[in-house]
Amino acid sequence: MSDLTLVQLEKAYDAALEQIAAKSFLDPTFDEDQILLRLQLGNNPPTFPATDPDLPGKLRMTLGQAQTFQSRYDIIDAYQNDATGFSAVALRDTANPGRVVLAVRSTEINNDSARDLGADTQIFTRGFAFDQILSAQDFLNRVRPQLQPGEKIDLVGYSLSGNIVRTLAAMYPTEVNQTSGANVVFNATGLGGFSDPTGQNRPRSVVMQEMMDLYRQIEADPKSVADVPLLLLPLQLTAVAAPSIVSTDPNGKFYPSPRNDFAEAKVQNKYTTFYNDFGTPVAGLPFAQYLGVAMSGLMPSPWRIREVTLFLLAWPLKASPWWKFPASLQGLII
């Protein structure tokens, strides 16, 4: 194992703060005081006092970090907690002209666990967080017209959203920065695998766009799809009879729903989707990937990673379990 370079440490630190911004319920209409407050609250409800040292959510910034962050980044747009549980922020990095960051938040145990755990289940059973990926596409389509000439998007993901940003990177090679290490994920879920149903081994971006378009079509109109296998016909009939769900409804919930169930099953049947575990090599854009250990008091606990301080480690992708990490590991606590 080699230590991280200073440049890599700075990149990891920046990405960690950008991920915290994705969890901070930001809005481009906020004034400076509101932005500072939200960054200090992080993944805590906006009604909580930012000065409370015992807030349940630990992914938040200090006042100094928030002030530095605010002076460096402009909020282009933000997308908060739709019916899929998706939430993200788009930032313009004024310290690095041409760089735009799209950071997607992870599973939010404190504020949106039911919907996010539904998305996690999709990843582990079907290979992709389909519904949140569709919302990510919608958000990206909102951001793209706001890009200035020469700007490229760097992606940041954590846990659940690792699956989402890696999918976006594969689907949008023109908009997403293709430089190795420009895109960063922490403790990321694996990128799903699939087969090209034509057998022609078409480019991944083409097949993945086609796959997501089919999923969107089925959820919108379950009876529009043809060639449904006999075993899936009961799911289709139930989906046709079920009411539609508006994805932008912050009070809606996609999981479980008959249309969601049928779309998952049909897409998996056609494209043979499956889950690639974290660290499994796949074709596509390389990401800088960091494994982390959560710290609660003095006891590391991988099960509380979303509730406690994020610990960045200079460790290879295929690392040993956290309890085998040598004591000499160098890291950065934020």
Q: Work out the average pLDDT over 65-76.
A: 97
Q: What is the pLDDT of residue 15?
A: 96
> How many residues in the chain?
334
Residue numbers of the domain that contains 104: 6-193+275-333
- Going by C-beta distance under 8 Å and a sequence separation of 6 or more, which residues neighbour residue 319? 279, 291, 313, 325
Domain identity same for 92 and 219: no
pLDDT score of 178 more than 60: yes
Domain identity same for 19 and 105: yes
Domain identity same for 291 and 267: no
Give Cα separations from 92 to 18, 273, 313, 325 (angstroms): 11, 34, 27, 36
Q: What is the pLDDT of residue 279?
A: 63
Prior bond of 256 cis (ω within 30°): yes
Per-residue buried b or exposed e for 304-315, using 16+ beta carbons within 10 Å of the residue's own CB: ebbbbbbbbbbb
CA distance 108 to 81: 10
Residue with tokens 């990149």: 11
CA distance 35 to 29: 9
Residue 84 is assigned to a structural domain of this protein: yes
Q: Kind and range of the H or E element at 311?
A: strand 311-313
Asked whether the CA dihedral 83, 86, 92, 95 is positive or negative, the reply is: positive
CA distance 249 to 158: 24
pLDDT score of 213 more than 60: yes
Domain identity same for 261 and 328: no
Residue 51 is assigned to a structural domain of this protein: yes
Domain identity same for 313 and 222: no
Domain identity same for 239 and 312: no
Residue 133 is assigned to a structural domain of this protein: yes
- Residue finishing a domain among 225, 242, 273: 273
Domain identity same for 32 and 157: yes
Q: Considering the chain, what is the average pLDDT of its residues? A: 85
Kindly report which listed range (80-89, 108-117, 152-161) carries the lowest average pLDDT score: 108-117
CA distance 267 to 207: 12
42 against 4, higher pLDDT: 42
- Residue finishing a domain among 230, 252, 273: 273
Please name every residue paired with 225 in a beta bridge, in sequence order, or none if there are none.
Answer: none
Highest-confidence segment of 52-56, 212-216, 309-313: 212-216
Q: What is the pLDDT of residue 2?
A: 65
pLDDT score of 324 more than 50: no
Domain identity same for 68 and 144: yes
CA distance 156 to 107: 14
**Would strands 73-79 and 88-93 be described as parallel, antiparallel, or unpaired?**
antiparallel
Percent of the chain with pLDDT over 70: 84
Helix (H, G, I), strand (E, B) or coil at 309: strand
pLDDT score of 115 more than 70: yes
pLDDT score of 308 more than 70: no
- Going by C-beta distance under 8 Å and a sequence separation of 6 or more, which residues neighbour residue 158? 19, 105, 106, 185, 186, 187, 188
Domain identity same for 96 and 229: no
321 against 167, higher pLDDT: 167
Please state whether the predicted TM-score (pTM) of the whole model is above 0.95: no
CA distance 219 to 257: 10
Residue 119 is assigned to a structural domain of this protein: yes
Spacing of C-alpha 109 from chain mean position:
14
329 against 146, higher pLDDT: 146
Residue 1 is assigned to a structural domain of this protein: no
Domain identity same for 233 and 294: no
Domain identity same for 25 and 153: yes
Domain identity same for 55 and 140: yes
Count of the separate structural domains present in the chain: 2
Whether 292 and 307 have beta carbons less than 8 Å apart is answered as no
Whether 310 and 293 have beta carbons less than 8 Å apart is answered as no
pLDDT score of 303 more than 70: no
